[in-house]
Amino acid sequence: MATFSSVAAAVEYESWDPNAETRAAVAQLREAGKESELEAILGSRLQFGTAGLRGPMGPGYNRMNELVVMQTCQGLIRYMDSLDADAKNKGVIIGFDHRELGSLSSKALARISAAVFLSQGYKTYLLEGFVPTPFVAFGVSHLGCAAGIMVTASHNPKADNGYKVYWNNGSQIVPPHDTGIASQIDANLKPWQTYDTTYAGVEANALAHDVTYSIASAYYKALSKLSNQHQTNYTNPVKTVYTAMHGVGCHWVKQAFEEFGHRPLDAVPCQAEADPTFPTVKFPNPEEKGALDEAMKHADKQGATLILANDPDADRLAVAEKLPS
């Protein structure tokens, strides 16, 4: 087994990384002779599993950044091609949330993902703006895609990001797909080309299609069929408040309330807007102790007895009820 060389790894990383900020961070460590720091970020890789990738944003092979996502897409493409000769025509759907740290953002990681797939002739469906993760899962089935990608760290701390993969059945991948994809990632680490992430290279590409509106419309049409008390929902006496936990859910849950004929959504004001700094919660997971403190304050102020809470990418729901005692 070859001995790890932090300097050689840094030089390689710098030659491959398309992001100027993370590339410069590695170069600075190399030039300063910070070998232990280089080994910490370059000596191992984020492991791809059934949950895809998840980890802190930053430079290095064991961080979430544009190079690591590029490599992951290359491996995913090789794996998909090996199983389905029609994968390119079926295409992929890609969504992203609001996470951001410096020049690293969910949008930027979604753009490099789209650029890689487009370069290989894949039809690529784009969900523009901040969307909930369920739109990607739904979109895979609705459009008959070969796979779906959602760039999000879900309910992880604010410094993290992630890359979720949905298979052609609309569900997150299961074994043996995880190990098959991971093997192909390792075999396709070197960038195949320079990828164009500009508007001309992605949004204006003939193989790219913005399906945000059509997927949202189809999603709510399907959702509305689940309402069996539409006529009485508006007069329901239970007062409810909602928190998006500084995530993407508020706009979309508001629309869901309208589809079901509920009274207008009462969202916790200080947590309603998408904010990657998550200023009022230490850990943006509605199941964590203290995460619902602001929601409970707002509920008491409004005389509400029920709280609905999403995690930041709106694929997890917590429900809390205030008891009479």
Distance CA 146, CA 81 (A): 10
DSSP per-residue letters across 93-132:
EEEE---EETTEEHHHHHHHHHHHHHHTT--EEE--SS--
171 is catalytic: no
Read off the amino acid at residue 113. Answer: S
Distance CA 74, CA 79 (A): 9
Burial class (CB in 10 A: 0-12, 13-18, 19+), 17: buried
Q: Cα dist. 310→47, 128, 226, 284 in Å?
A: 27, 20, 20, 9
Find the catalytic residue in 15, 141, 154, 325. 154
Q: Which residues are catalytic?
A: 154
